[in-house]
Amino acid sequence: AGILGKNAGELIAEAALAIEMGAEMDDIAMTIHPHPTLSETLNFATEVAEGTCTDIYMPKKKK
């Protein structure tokens, strides 16, 4: 996997910190991220994966 593009360094720094500290998804989700920033998207991704995201519209699953 890779990260490239404008301001990619912000996401790389966030991911590198998570790897260095051995963070799990819950650790990242519980960390305060400033808004609006790109690093906040890593937080959103972990919250979506855990099913706890309240900032992104997620339609209800059909039964």
Residue 21 near residue 44 (C-beta atoms within 8 A): no
Clarify whether 35 is annotated catalytic.
yes
Residue from 36, 30, 48 nearest 10 by CA: 36
Catalytic pick among 1, 34, 35, 62: 35
- Active-site residues, by number, are 35
